[in-house]
Structure 1
């Protein structure tokens, strides 16, 4: 993995160099995860078993550590003004629900029914296509807060964008998947959906709100932003460590799969990569053309690019089985996402000055 400069302007002291080489640390975390996953399979099997409704609790705790600093930065007094800036919300809805699921399905059909058809069986092809469709129909909930934080996105607006996606997902996920898969008896794993939203949004949001109230109690209004910024800068290293530990765990969980089926992993990754960069280009370009401020445009494009992999994996397992090609495709989506999203974060930070302030 080549070095990607993810440095952020005016980063808090002591954080800049670490963020600057973040892609290198992620590459090392991937390698460490693969090695440890194959050296200590029993340990990772034990950690992988600590889950409920396909939500892994060690990973959930690490994601909570990543999301928490962003939640402290949410300014609840600004929520009433979100409607005055509707462009980001419009782009989020259009890209995530009217474009992304259908382009993912089209790419899956193109590659597995045409390009890769000579190398795999038709039955396997349909399984991989199904897994890709499940990923495309499940926009991200948790990791978006991390990507938004790395681009210094508007924390309050990002929260609203994610919350809107979650509400739409309750009603739209099953019908879209049923339409694209041709399966009418899709059962939404409500346990996975509700538990994920609770763990990744509600709990860290409540903790962030309480922390913000504690930090600003008795502080003059003009000094409150400075106090909050100082605190989030101090805890931000824990967010990055949480990201690296999450990457290590995910690659440790799937280490044997990666080594056993490298060709299949590579084939599944191709349409996922094209989809990710294509959706980002569409959303980011539309935001630029529409003159959306960068702090809203970057998270908006990143929300459209990343996926709610817990939901996709849970549905794949429930419909097609634990060892199915569909489940494998959703897992590959998890492995591909982090390096892809880091590269997009780096690109967004480099092009920040192309957007209105």
Structure 2
């Protein structure tokens, strides 16, 4: 690990502060950059995410993708967390914290809207950034790609019904343009580019060269995301801090549950790490677009999803740290050792 990577947490903290400061001092610049979007997908952020995930996708060899089936336990656990636990746990946390404990400190007219935004955020599993988190935990790249693709397929049929059920709506309008464009931008095209690069270059050498670019793109994304909301953060820090509480609890709850279930089931650590991270992270472009289309740009729901965007990178990096530091404990699990021995004999 290079010195730069070793102090990544420090660089993240500095980029958050820089982003907030620049967003407050130069709001016009960030408003202009923020307006460069298609179907609610910000193109400058999309470019940075591309630079982050293409180096990770270089590790995927489609000739061995079929072997991902042996990780069926991890796939099943992640699907369970994403679709049977996460939206419903967030609805409960939203009601508990926003609807009850923090109610006296929040605008009364926005309470229901805040809770709605939190539910929308939780009902959209992560698509792009999870490749970065998986790589930082030395996760199995084929599992990560397969799981993300499966989540996207489920999202097409499950996102609207789950949100409608939890919000008590007869139906919702899914921002299909955002969903489809994000899948194409963040999965289809990067996978195609990575596979073309695999055929034409020395993959190992290229991956090493691109690693610093990937981390710099991560830091640049942080500056932009916090810069976009710099004025909001300065104007209403209390509201944003209170909205962040249930999001943080939900991340650690779902990541921890997925991690423990993988350990109990005997899955390898390289699968449990990305499983926990996919189970905890969110598809914030879709969530923000859905909240705006349902409740309006200035609604509490839109603000709640934006808070999810702001906490995404720092909190997921903390989950990465926990997963990496606990690897020894994880691999001492009886089921993990038994499963590893079985694979070793096969």
Say whether the fold is shared (TM-score over 0.5): yes
Residue of 243, 267, 270 corresponding to 2:245: 270
Aligned to 1:170: 156
Query: Within 2, Cα distance between the matches of 1:230 and 1:294?
Result: 26
Aligned to 2:71: 85
Q: Which moved more, 1:112-121 or 1:231-240?
A: 112-121
Aligned to 1:233: 208
Aligned length in residues: 332
Question: In the alignment, is the contact (CA less than 8 A) between 1:113 and 1:122 conserved in 2?
Answer: no
Query: Within 2, Cα distance between the matches of 1:121 and 1:346?
Result: 36
Query: Within 2, Cα distance between the matches of 1:116 and 1:351?
Result: 33
Aligned to 1:182: 168
Query: Within 1, Cα distance between the matches of 2:164 and 2:118?
Result: 14
Aligned to 2:344: none
Are positions 1:350 and 2:336 aligned together?
A: no
Query: Within 2, Cα distance between the matches of 1:119 and 1:230?
Result: 54
Residue of 8, 14, 18 corresponding to 1:28: 14
Q: 1:41 deviation in Å?
A: 1.4
Residue of 111, 122, 129 corresponding to 1:143: 129
Question: In the alignment, is the contact (CA less than 8 A) between 1:53 and 1:191 conserved in 2?
Answer: yes
Residue of 252, 268, 271 corresponding to 1:296: 271
Query: Within 1, Cα distance between the matches of 2:13 and 2:61?
Result: 34
Question: In the alignment, is the contact (CA less than 8 A) between 2:56 and 2:132 conserved in 1?
Answer: yes
Are positions 1:119 and 2:115 aligned together?
A: no
CA deviation vs aligned residue, 1:309-333 (integer Å, no higher than 9, x gap)? 0000001000100000000000000
Residue of 18, 27, 45 corresponding to 1:41: 27
Query: Within 2, Cα distance between the matches of 1:233 and 1:155?
Result: 16
Q: 1:121 deviation in Å?
A: 4.1
Query: Within 2, Cα distance between the matches of 1:154 and 1:78?
Result: 12
Provide the secondary structure at the position in 2 that maps to 1:188: coil
- The within-5 A match list for 1:305-344 is 305-344=280-319
Provide the secondary structure at the position in 1 that maps to 2:134: helix
Question: In the alignment, is the contact (CA less than 8 A) between 1:135 and 1:308 conserved in 2?
Answer: yes
Aligned to 1:8: none
Aligned to 1:105: 91
Question: In the alignment, is the contact (CA less than 8 A) between 1:44 and 1:253 conserved in 2?
Answer: yes
Aligned-CA RMSD value = 1.1
Aligned to 2:58: 72
Q: 1:229 deviation in Å?
A: 2.9
Are positions 1:279 and 2:254 aligned together?
A: yes
Query: Within 2, Cα distance between the matches of 1:341 and 1:297?
Result: 15
CA deviation vs aligned residue, 1:191-237 (integer Å, no higher than 9, x gap)? 0000011111111110101011113xxxxxxxxxxx53332122111
Query: Within 2, Cα distance between the matches of 1:265 and 1:271?
Result: 11
For structure 1, the 5+ residue unaligned runs are 1-10, 216-226
Provide the secondary structure at the position in 2 that maps to 1:184: coil
Residue of 191, 195, 199 corresponding to 2:181: 195
The normalised TM-score by structure 1 is 0.91
Query: Within 2, Cα distance between the matches of 1:85 and 1:329?
Result: 34
The normalised TM-score by structure 2 is 0.94
Provide the secondary structure at the position in 2 that maps to 1:86: helix
